[in-house]
Amino acid sequence: MDFSFLFNNFIELTVTGLVLGSVYALIALGYTLVYGVLQLINFAHADVFMWGTFAVAWVFILTGANGSGTLLQALPYLLLALVVSASVSGGLAMLVERVAYRRLVRKRALSYIILISAIGASFVLSETMGIRDRIVEAIDGAVNAILGIFGGHVDLVGILSDYTARARGITTLPMTIKPETILTIGNFNFRNTDLTIILAALIMMVALDQFIRRTRLGREIRAVAQDPEAAALMGSNSTSVISKTFLIGGIMAGVAAVLYQIKVGSTAFDIGVVLGIKAFTAAVLGGIGNLRGALLGGLLLGITENYGSALFGTQWKDVVAFALLVLILLVRPTGLLGQTLGRARA
């Protein structure tokens, strides 16, 4: 174990762990919100996040952003990407709820059947992105077969080539966001991109926490989470509330996608596999169904991963993180905070 490396780079490991943990926490919100109202693990949520990361990349391509620039120079593109990403992820989350879950929930299907549906929805979303080039080719052939009757032709494959290139590879942002040092502590340079990601995640978490506690929709979500039948007797439309809960979780995933792209600058159709497991772990670690637990679990997981990498090497990163999860759950099975969404108080 390399304790000297850990102590010599303690601040950097902590800050970068908080950055990574902030992304985990925002994704974890989708898991914890849905579990709170349905007691369902929405495994498709990580792929909703993945679609958000592609939405960010496509906005940069569409607007012609390229080369390299500072965070301030990239801000107009990022703000537009935030709107598009949140819309794509939010809409996709509602579609998943409508297609994959609603009918099963109404029929009170067994939990493992809903779980299989969730896993199936996850694969559909990821593989659809992974074969987007072939989908465009198929649409191109069908459209041109129709247009050919009238002597017309359109080159959809060529027009959309920038968006479908490397369908099963890595898609990078056409614009590189260069971090700038805003503070130096010892040998560590604190960068504006790291500060932005951490602050943005904290602001979103506080805003969501207050939204759930103080708004009418938030009270309805908590009522459905606590007792769906009693909530229905009080006039709440549980179907609408569940759909809006998926929407909120999707929007948070869209925000996480923008922050992820600021830090990483690339994405792929299968990034949801590992990130989804990490975010789900964060939700369980903090206490699934607990909004504040998702934040705590995400940040703790991000920091633990970094400390584990410093002590044992990067190949031990996931081993240390998940070993911590097992140890905490053995002592506290409900997670660190362990409070469900339905028991949250205004």
Containing structural domain, residue 121:
22-269
Is 74's pLDDT higher than 90? yes
74 located within any domain:
yes
pLDDT in tens, 253-281: 999 999 999 999 999 999 988 888 888 88
pLDDT surpassing 70 at residue 346:
no
In a domain, 227, yes or no: yes
Residue 206 lies in a domain: yes
Beta-carbon contacts of 156 under 8 Å, excluding residues fewer than 6 positions away, are 136, 139, 140, 143
340 confidence band (pLDDT: 50, 70, 90) = low
- For the segment 127-185, what is each residue's pLDDT rounded down to a tens digit? 999 999 999 999 999 999 999 988 889 999 999 999 998 899 999 999 999 999 888 87
How high is the pLDDT of residue 41?
84
Q: How many domains does the chain have?
A: 1
Question: Is residue 330 situated within a structural domain?
Answer: no
Does 320 fall in a domain?
A: no
pLDDT for the residue 287:
84
214 occurs within a structural domain: yes
Averaged pLDDT, 93-112? 89
Residue 56 belongs to a domain: yes
Higher pLDDT residue, 330 or 207?
207
Residue 334 lies in a domain: no
- Confidence category of residue 7, pLDDT binned at 50, 70, 90: confident
Query: pLDDT: is 314 or 14 the higher one?
Result: 14
pLDDT of residue 109: 85
